[in-house]
């Protein structure tokens, strides 16, 4: 059996019901184990854990990428283009506001990609993106 390395990411949330609605309902992530103060989510085979924290820390800062100011820290997923646009449609249908609207970044360059930024109900920043050519994710 081949084991694929996976990432584990723990993030703070101030309302587990809101996290369940967002991560399970809006994003459609399967829920794993949980207690009254944390919930595991299957983020494409990676473990995302939302931990209940009464005072969620606020954004640490921002960084410039092209003409946009992106929130730091942030995390997200690399999706194929069909799933990226389906996710955009799900987020729009749920009334999620984008910090950076879905758009094509670095057109014509090796790292050409669709990208979008949005926040969960606790204010955690997420970036989902889709590379035109998945082999170019780390291209210079």
Q: How many CB atoms lie within 10 A of CB 107?
A: 9
The pTM is what?
0.90
**Is the domain covering 8-52 a CATH 3.40.710.10 domain?**
no
pLDDT in tens, 64-116: 988 889 999 999 999 999 999 999 999 999 999 999 999 999 999 888 999 99
In this prediction, residue 57 carries a pLDDT of 76
Q: Is there a contact between 20 and 121 (Cβ–Cβ < 8 Å)?
A: no
CATH class of 61-136: alpha beta
Report domain extents, the chain: 8-52, 61-136
Alpha-carbon gap, residue 137 to 139, rounded angstroms: 6
* 8-52 against 61-136: fold identical: no
The pair of structure tokens assigned to 73 is 């820290």
Q: Is 136 helix (H, G, I), strand (E, B) or coil?
A: helix
Q: Is there a contact between 119 and 67 (Cβ–Cβ < 8 Å)?
A: no
Question: What's the burial of 55, exposed, middle or buried (CB within 10 Å: 0-12/13-18/19+)?
Answer: exposed
Alpha-carbon gap, residue 65 to 104, rounded angstroms: 13
Q: Is there a contact between 106 and 66 (Cβ–Cβ < 8 Å)?
A: yes
pLDDT in tens, 5-51: 888 999 999 999 999 999 999 999 999 999 999 999 999 999 999 99
pLDDT in tens, 112-126: 999 999 999 999 999
Residue entry with tokens 């249908």:
93
Confidence band for 2, pLDDT divided at 50, 70 and 90: low
């Amino acid at each position: 059996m081949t084991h694929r390395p996976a990432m584990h990411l723990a993030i703070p949330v101030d309302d587990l019901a809101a996290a369940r609605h967002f991560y399970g309902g809006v994003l459609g992530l399967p829920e794993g184990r949980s207690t009254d103060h944390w919930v595991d989510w299957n983020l494409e085979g990676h473990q995302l854990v939302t931990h209940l924290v009464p005072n969620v820390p606020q954004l640490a800062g921002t960084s410039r990428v092209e003409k946009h100011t992106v929130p730091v820290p942030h995390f997200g997923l690399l999706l194929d283009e069909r799933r990226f646009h389906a996710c955009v449609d799900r987020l729009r249908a749920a009334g999620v506001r984008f910090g950076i609207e879905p758009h094509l970044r670095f057109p014509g360059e090796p790292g050409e990609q669709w990208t979008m930024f949005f926040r969960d109900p606790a204010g955690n920043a997420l970036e989902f993106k889709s590379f035109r050519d998945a082999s170019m994710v780390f291209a210079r």
